[in-house]
Structure formats: structure tokens, C-alpha cells
Chain A
Amino acid sequence: MLTTAWLSSGIEITYLVAASLFIVGLKRLSSPATARQGNQIAAAGMFVAIVATLLNQSVLNYQMLLVGIVIGSLVGAIAAQKVAMTAMPQMVGIFNGLGGAASALIAVGEFWRVLSTTGTAPIDATLVTILGVFIGGVTFTGSLMAFAKLQGIMTGSPITFPFQQPFNIFILVSFLVGSGYLLVHPEQTFVFLGLVAISLLLGVLFVLPIGGADTPVVISLLNSYSGLAASAAGFILMNNMLIIAGALVGASGLILTQIMCKAMNRSLANVLFSAFGSDGGTAIAAGGDQGDRVVRSVEPEEGAMMLGYARSVVIVPGYGMAVAQAQHSVRELADQLDRLGVTVKYAIHPVAGRMPGHMNVLLAEANVPYDQLCDMDDINPEFERTDVALVIGANDVVNPAARENTSSPIYGMPILDVDRAHNTIVIKRGMSAGFAGIENDLFFKEHTMMMFGSAKDVVAKLVAEVKQLS
């Protein structure tokens, strides 16, 4: 009896240690010098928490649990080893979904246990179960949708259908009505299963109308949800450590979501419900005067000369660089320019790519030191003194219309002021509009030169040409 008491206090204290390790780990994750250590500290916290749980006296089914842990560890370890850095957004997306699914399963399983042992469930247990099923279910299917969009299994453009909003509201209201009913009659399993199904459906509906370039917001938001789902599981099992760890992740995801929204000058509601850029591809004339405007295109030879004889070059990467997997060629170009005494910096827009920090990860993979990567606010004042701004596969984030054209849909969005550099070279596959579906005034500016082609090919040609300069 005494040992039991000791054991359960010991487990509680170990949980407290684990929670503290998570907090310290997250704290360290926010500085480049300590980040790796922070991640390891958090992992240690997780290990401690799992071991303590296995010591719990109600846990008896060791063989099966270990089989589950081994399978999960193998799959996770292999996935983490194999995934290409360019596929990182999908990977984070699917991991979010797994966490959400686990939490939803806990909610369903525990509710089932309570029902089958007592025949009914207290109102507060039902309430937290509904929350767990809802958040976990939405996180699960929402993440699968985000994965499918990023992986190219389905179109990355927003998908809309007639009466979408009324339909969504109808579904949401049915969920609320069903929840109300279940609170009074928890033994109605069909209502419960209906709620599970609706949660899964809502996750799909929620990501459906969101387009490619808005994915950084969605991924961060789903990240936050996966934490909240774990918290909900904590409420269901009355386990404080789950609540704490989930709340930490929920907060971190929410902060990232906020940063992403701010970087696009749009509210979260606007990102989620406006199906922004659904006209994508059919360029809307921003001013209606582009008919007689001309673009200047240059050959790699001339481009290489401009770059090689510049004093300072700022490289602006975008999603196009990720798609073409051009990060290694870009680094090679920077090395060659460095050899010629050119100062090279990288300007990173917060929403460039498909997840927060996407460009930073890719460039890190190509061995670009992180102190060469500049944030928008730091680099913008420098463009006036920059000889050449080299835009590689970025579009909307360098569109001066965001600054100048009040009627543009992206007006007010903070952009990288590449048009203020003495010269701007834009590497792009064609003249198609960016994600927002609008013309980019930058391409028609006097000091802008276009180099058409896949980012990887064009940069490789530039590298070859620059190599010949001495």
C-alpha cells in the first residue's frame, strides 16, 4: 500500500520533471546556438514521461505496448531519415495529423470504456470527450488534406463549391446540436459516432478552400491544433502533463500562425475563409495598362557579368527555388561570387515557401551559414545600396503593387523591396501570375531583367558563366 502511494507520487513528480524539460527545451529551441540541445532536452523529457507511464500500476499489457512502440519508432525513424528537405512541409503536415489522430482515438477509446463499464457518462466527461474528438479529428483530416495538397496528390489551388459557407455552417451547427444531445444522452452511441464523422468531415472542409501559398498559415495552425488535441486528451484522462505539453505546443503554433498572417497583412479569418487566389493562373490586370508594357529578358552570359562585377548582391529565394531543388546551385553561385569579392546576402520573406522557415531549412541544407540569411526588416533598407537583387522563384513577396497600388488584392502586405536595388534580375519559369493571381509590376520596371527557365537550370548556367570571370 505504501509502495503504491510512493510509486504514484513518483510518477507525478517525474511528469513534472518531463514538463519542465519541455519548457527548457522549447526555450533553447528559440536560439540557433542552443536549438539542437533544446530539441534533445525535449526528447529526454518525452523519454522520461514514457518510462514513468509504463511504471503505472494500471499498465499491464507490456508485450502489446512494446510492439506498438517499436513499430512506431521504426516507422518514425525511417521517415525522419529518408525525407528530403524539400518535402519537409508535407512531413510536418503528416506528423501533425498523427498526433491529432492519436488524441482523437484516446477520446473515443476512453469514452467507450466509461460507457461500457457504467452504462452512462458524467456530463463533464462527455464534454471533454467531444472537445477531444473534435480537435483531434479536425487536426487529423485537415493535416491529411494539407499533405495531399503539398505532395501534389490533389491540386494546390483553393477548391470551392456553391453554397460552401452555408454548407459549412450547417455542418457546424449539426455538430453543436448533436453535442448538446449527447451531453444529455451520453449512451446514444450513434450520435457519438455521428459527431466523430462530422469532425473528420470538418477537417477536410476547412483545408479545401485554402491555396498553396497560404499553407504556411495552415500548417502552423494545424501544429497548434495538434497541441490542443493533446491537451484535450489530458482533460479526458485528468493528466496534467498532457495538458501542459499540449498547451505549450498550442501556444507555439499560435505564435507562428500570427507571424505568418502578419507577414501577409491578412487576418486569420481572411486566410481561412476567403479562398484567396482562387482565380490563380488567370492574371487579373492590376492597373489594366499592361498591354503595351515590355519586359526585358537577358541571357545568362549578361546576367553573370552583372553579378560578377557587382559589389553587393542580394539573393531572394522563393517557392520556385524549392520546387526546382535549386538550393545547392544557388549556394554554388554565391561561392563563385564570393570568390570574385562580391558581398552576397540572402533576403528571406517570412512566408516564402510552404511552411514557416522553409527557405532557411533548404539553404541550411545547402550549407549556407544562417548568419548570411537576413530577415525582411533588416534587409529592406539595404536594397537601395545593393547593385543586383537576384529573385529566384519568388513572386508575390516582391511585388511592388503591395506598396503602391491601393486596388491590388495584396496591397499592404509587407514585401522585400527588390525594386529599389540598382538592378533586379528575376529568374522565373514564365510570365504567369503568382499565387495571388495578379500581374507583378516588378517585371515591367526599367531596371528589371527576366531570365526565363527552371531555377535550377538557369542558376547552373549562371554558375558556369561566373566561373569564367576572374
Chain B
Amino acid sequence: MAAGLLTGLVVFVLASFVGFEVINKVPPTLHTPLMSGANAISGIAVVGALLIAGTQDLNLTVILGLIAVVLATINVVGGFLVTDRMLQMFKKKGA
């Protein structure tokens, strides 16, 4: 298990660096859509929620997992849709 933790840490640190590099030069115009798009991605917790809520029997874990599925799905669906709605409005002159 400790080895798994270490691998996870490696993945986490490398992914953080990728994040910094990829997002570093975002123009101020896109700050809000970037934030709400990133926020929708953080709804990836839905995957974790599905995994713990997936077992057949009904116990506390499954109940908490199901609540988490609902909350995270709101986050994912709402986040991506509202970002799209915003980005639709961003137009260049004459476009």
C-alpha cells in the first residue's frame, strides 16, 4: 500500500507541473471560463463516487457514495454546460 502511495505522489507532482505549464499563459479574458471549465474537471470525483457506490448491498458507504454521485454530476454537467454557454458569447470583432 505504501508503494501505491508513492506512485500516486509521483503522478500527482508530475501532473501538477503539467498543469502549471499548460495553463500558465491564459489571457485575462478567459479567466472565468478557465476556472469554471477546470471546476467541471474537478467533478472527476464522480468516478470515485461511482466506484464506492457500485456495490450491490445497501450500507452507509453506498449511501454516501450515491449522494456523492449526485453532487459530483451536478458539478460536471453544470460546469461544462455553463462554461460552454459563456464561451459561446466570446466573439471577435466582426464575427
Given A68-B69, A255-B24, A356-B31, decide whether A58 and B51 contact each other with a Cβ distance below 8 A.
Answer: yes
Interface string of B31-47 (1 = CB under 8 A from A): 11111111111111111
- Closest Cβ–Cβ distance, residue B42 to chain A (whole Å): 4
CA distance A35 to B18 in the complex (A): 18
Contact yes or no, A32 B29, CB < 8 A: yes
- List chain B residues, Cβ under 8 A from A46: 40-41, 43-44, 46, 76, 80
- Closest Cβ–Cβ distance, residue A305 to chain B (whole Å): 27
Contact yes or no, A92 B1, CB < 8 A: no
- The verdict on A401 contacting chain B, using a C-beta distance below 8 Å, is no
CA distance A234 to B16 in the complex (A): 14
Q: Is the interface of B mostly helix, strand, loop or mixed?
A: helix
Given A65-B69, A80-B78, decide whether A249 and B1 contact each other with a Cβ distance below 8 A.
Answer: no
Given A43-B80, A238-B4, decide whether A109 and B61 contact each other with a Cβ distance below 8 A.
Answer: yes
- List chain A residues, Cβ under 8 A from B7: 240
Question: Which residue of A has the minimal Cβ distance to B13?
Answer: A247
Question: Which residue of B has the minimal Cβ distance to A260?
Answer: B31
Contact yes or no, B39 A101, CB < 8 A: no
Contact yes or no, A252 B23, CB < 8 A: yes
CA distance A85 to B83 in the complex (A): 11
Interface string of A355-392 (1 = CB under 8 A from B): 11110110011010111110100000000000000000
Contact yes or no, B34 A99, CB < 8 A: no
Interchain CB contact (< 8 A) of B11 among A25, A124, A244, A254: A244
Q: State which residues 89-137 of A face B: CB under 8 Å.
A: 91-92, 95-96, 98-99, 101-103, 105-106, 108-110, 112-113, 116, 122, 124-125, 128
- Closest Cβ–Cβ distance, residue A69 to chain B (whole Å): 5
CA distance A80 to B30 in the complex (A): 18
- List chain A residues, Cβ under 8 A from B62: 61, 64, 109
CA distance A254 to B21 in the complex (A): 12
- 27 A–B contacts from the bound complex (CB under 8 Å): A23-B22, A26-B19, A31-B27, A35-B87, A39-B33, A39-B80, A42-B37, A69-B69, A71-B73, A76-B78, A88-B32, A91-B82, A92-B35, A96-B39, A98-B75, A103-B48, A105-B64, A113-B61, A124-B2, A223-B38, A240-B8, A249-B19, A251-B15, A355-B35, A356-B31, A357-B31, A364-B29
What is the interface of chain B, defined by CB distance below 8 A to chain A? 1-2, 4-5, 7-8, 11-13, 15-20, 22-56, 59-95
